[in-house]
Amino acid sequence: MTTLRLPLPLPITARRLAVTAALVAGAVSASVALVSRAGSTGSSDDSRAAAAVPVRAMPEITGVEKAVLTAAPDVPAPITRDYATKVLVELETVEKTMRLADGVEYTFWTFGGNVPGSFIRVREGDLVEFTLKNHAHSSVPHNIDLHAVTGPGGGAAATLTLPGGASTFSFRALNPGLYVYHCAVSPVPMHIANGMYGLILVQPREGMPKVDRELYVMQSEFYAKPGAAGKPHTLDMEKGAAEQPTHVVFNGAVGALTGDKAPEVKVGESVRIYVGNGGPNLTSNFHVIGEVFDNVYGEGGSMVSQKNVQTTLVPAGGSAIVEFRAEKTGNLVIVDHAIFRAFNKGALGMIKVTGEDNPKVYAQLKGLPMAGH
């Protein structure tokens, strides 16, 4: 058995013709327009699905479950089931004032009350029924464009939601990978600049290699203008258009991943970071000081594209998955290696590695004592 795909990225009209032809001439002709995806393993229900919808093989849906969403840096547990199901996702947009940096309160627009928005995890082939709610206290309408979605606006065309309202649409998680979602109501730069983005992982149907720790880290930048008379900061239009952020941060605020909030792992543990970049403007030069990424799933795709990487680019509106094993105690420092952003604008995070020291990997032999190491 194989999974089936159209051989070429045909325009929609051509796809419609292909569908029509298949319906008229019967399922046999459909197979002519389809080729097998090399190297993939499929489930037994693929052929039946392919006959019905020749555009893409889709497995049968069994059962229904509610997605568990998490706030960064946490990631929902890996999906262990080996079949496709209907997944109910419910996400609420909330406008709220929170700390961006010390002394800087900002009125964020959020998915789920946090920046970045809640992490969503589904499995390749799942039928996702997505409900977007907009809190009644919101000032403006919101919607959602999930880059994992095949269809108009990535969902945005079906989810314009007024304050106090809700919208529901469904999509098939056709392509595995790590995808950004964001609000796409006009003016979209303002919605994104105010914090409306997050990540959705479409876990490949064969699963991902087991690791000891999964983390959710999303970079973004803010263009904060002080409010009049002590009111919260809001978007600075001029700085946004000039792409000159006041803050570049991981997980929505300066210090969101440092000090007490730094995740802790043990020597010997394998770590996978789901890295996203909400932008709105900057490309991230994602780097972890004192580590080398053993594996990088470049641009958040579904396969390891490179091994032994120091710094990986994460485009605005894009992602990457990086993996490493902690092999030495101390603090690993997450930075955007466009280094003024880290030093001056807040793009710093930390992972504490505890456990037994490992001097075979690294040892200071002579020199000034270093505090904190």
311: nearest Cα among 277, 345, 281, 335 = 335
Q: Does 236 sit near another protein (CB under 8 A)?
A: yes
Q: Does 316 sit near another protein (CB under 8 A)?
A: no
Tell me how far, at minimum, the Cβ of 223 lies from another protein, in Å: 11
Q: Does 161 sit near another protein (CB under 8 A)?
A: yes
CB 143 within 8 Å of CB 159: yes
CB 202 within 8 Å of CB 179: yes
Q: Does 46 sit near another protein (CB under 8 A)?
A: no
**Measured between alpha carbons, how far is 312 from 87 in angstroms, rounded to an integer?**
32
Residue for token pair 């013709």: 17
Q: Which one among 24, 136, 363, 370 touches another protein, defined by CB under 8 A?
A: 136
**Measured between alpha carbons, how far is 239 from 280 in angstroms, rounded to an integer?**
12
Residues of this chain, 173-202, that bind another protein according to CB under 8 A: 184-190, 194
Burial category of 356 from C-beta neighbours within 10 Å (exposed 0-12, middle 13-18, buried 19 and up):
exposed
| Closer residue to another protein, CB minimum distance, 227 or 315 | 227
Q: What 3-state class would DSSP assign to 160? A: coil
| Closer residue to another protein, CB minimum distance, 151 or 204 | 151
Q: Does 35 sit near another protein (CB under 8 A)?
A: no
Tell me how far, at minimum, the Cβ of 160 lies from another protein, in Å: 5
By DSSP bridging, strand 264-266 and strand 348-354 are parallel
DSSP state of 158: G
Q: What 3-state class would DSSP assign to 357? A: coil
Tell me how far, at minimum, the Cβ of 255 lies from another protein, in Å: 22
53: nearest Cα among 174, 203, 217 = 174
| Closer residue to another protein, CB minimum distance, 12 or 363 | 12
Q: Which one among 152, 243, 268, 362 touches another protein, defined by CB under 8 A?
A: 152
Residue for token pair 């052929």: 47
Q: Which one among 3, 234, 246, 312 touches another protein, defined by CB under 8 A?
A: 234
Q: Which one among 32, 241, 292, 339 touches another protein, defined by CB under 8 A?
A: 241
**Measured between alpha carbons, how far is 347 from 343 in angstroms, rounded to an integer?**
7
Region of 124-132, 150-158, 283-291, 344-352 interacting with another protein (CB under 8 A): 150-158
205: nearest Cα among 179, 174, 181, 178 = 174
- # of chain residues touching another protein (CB under 8 A): 43
Q: Does 166 sit near another protein (CB under 8 A)?
A: no
Tell me how far, at minimum, the Cβ of 303 lies from another protein, in Å: 28
**Measured between alpha carbons, how far is 198 from 112 in angstroms, rounded to an integer?**
10
Residue for token pair 């002590």: 230
Q: Which one among 45, 92, 126, 145 touches another protein, defined by CB under 8 A?
A: 145
Region of 19-27, 154-162, 201-209, 362-370 interacting with another protein (CB under 8 A): 154-162
**Measured between alpha carbons, how far is 321 from 204 in angstroms, rounded to an integer?**
13
Tell me how far, at minimum, the Cβ of 272 lies from another protein, in Å: 30
Q: Which one among 26, 164, 268, 359 touches another protein, defined by CB under 8 A?
A: 164
Q: Does 97 sit near another protein (CB under 8 A)?
A: yes
**Measured between alpha carbons, how far is 11 from 340 in angstroms, rounded to an integer?**
44
CB 233 within 8 Å of CB 105: yes
* Interaction site with another protein (CB under 8 A): 12, 95, 97, 107, 109, 136-141, 143, 145, 152-153, 156-158, 160-165, 184-190, 194, 225, 227-228, 231-232, 234-238, 241
